[in-house]
Amino acid sequence: DAGVTQSPTHLIKTRGQQVTLRCSPKSGHDTVSWYQQALGQGPQFIFQYYEEEERQRGNFPDRFSGHQFPNYSSELNVNALLLGDSALYLCASRSIHRGEALHFGNGTRLTVT
Amino acid sequence: DAKTTQPNSMESNEEEPVHLPCNHSTISGTDYIHWYRQLPSQGPEYVIHGLTSNVNNRMASLAIAEDRKSSTLILHRATLRDAAVYYCILRVFVNAGGTSYGKLTFGQGTILTVHP
């Protein structure tokens, strides 16, 4: 039973570019959350998707957007990349009705130069 | 969001018990106390959670103070594999259309070092 999978594992982009990160939730999970983790810091909540809609959002600008597909997988898009967007981006999933725990993937390391 | 306070770092010896404290004096009645840990180069991993009563699972025990203003994660016999950053988190629920959602607000966590 595969856990949460994220792709790619590493990515290098240039300031001003756009990036798309992908996440497949754990089997049986229907809600996906995205987190940003800067070096040496705890993860910061970006947003959460359920039933293909954004349900909660953290304190992130509109440059950060997302999508959830009918198969529950999700994408995180970041436009107009800034140097400060360099971080580990984590995806987490859970079952909205069955489980309390979030299951995290190992993240995508984004470097903006 | 209610905040938690944890020591920046703690050290332990292998096969000894470890008690990781967490203060959450502004906790509300419906906040669950969650613990996650993050091993190097991995995403966070769920450890345990509770509301009022002490909880045990195969990984750890969670002791919750009677007033719920503090809690302690207990690793009964630390191993080298337990070296990680441990996060104490209050789970905030936002009800929307009858379905509860939750986001996790991570702090800095406690870096646990385990010595052989």
Residues of A engaging B, defined by a Cβ cutoff of 8 Å: 4, 31, 33, 35, 41-45, 48, 50, 55-56, 58, 90, 92, 96-97, 100-107
Residues of B engaging A, defined by a Cβ cutoff of 8 Å: 32, 34, 36, 41-46, 49, 85, 87, 91, 94, 96, 99-101, 103-109
- For residue B28, the model assigns a pLDDT of 87
Distance (Å) from the C-alpha of residue B55 to the closest C-alpha of chain A? Answer: 14
Distance (Å) from the C-alpha of residue A106 to the closest C-alpha of chain B? Answer: 4
* pLDDT, tens digit, 9 for 90 and up, residues A78-99: 999 999 999 999 999 998 777 6
Taking CA–CA distances from A90, the nearest residue in chain B reads B43
Task: Check if the beta carbon of residue B27 is closer than 8 Å to that of residue B68.
Answer: yes
Distance (Å) from the C-alpha of residue A80 to the closest C-alpha of chain B? Answer: 26
The radius of gyration of chain A's CA atoms, rounded to the nearest angstrom, is: 13
Task: Check if the beta carbon of residue B32 is closer than 8 Å to that of residue B104.
Answer: no
Q: In angstroms, how far is CA B107 from the centroid of its own chain?
A: 11
Give every CB contact of residue A86 below 8 A, 6+ residues apart in sequence: A38, A110, A111, A112
Q: In angstroms, how far is CA A40 from the centroid of its own chain?
A: 18
Whole-number mean pLDDT of chain B?
90
* pLDDT, tens digit, 9 for 90 and up, residues A44-76: 999 999 999 998 899 999 999 999 999 999 999
Which two three-digit tokens encode residue A87?
A: 């971080």
User: Which chain A residues have a beta carbon less than 8 Å from that of B105?
Assistant: 45
User: Which chain B residues have a beta carbon less than 8 Å from that of A56?
Assistant: 94, 101, 103
Strand boundaries in chain B, DSSP class E = 9-13, 18-23, 32-38, 45-50, 55-56, 61-64, 70-75, 84-96, 99-103, 110-115
A–B CB contacts, 8 A cutoff, strictly below: 59
User: Of the candidates B36, B99, B106, which has its C-beta nearest A96's C-beta?
Assistant: B99
* pLDDT, tens digit, 9 for 90 and up, residues B38-95: 999 899 999 999 999 999 999 999 999 999 999 999 999 999 999 999 999 998 665 5
State the amino acid at position A26 in one-letter form.
K
Task: Check if the beta carbon of residue B98 is closer than 8 Å to that of residue B72.
Answer: no
User: Which chain A residues have a beta carbon less than 8 Å from that of B108?
Assistant: 41-42
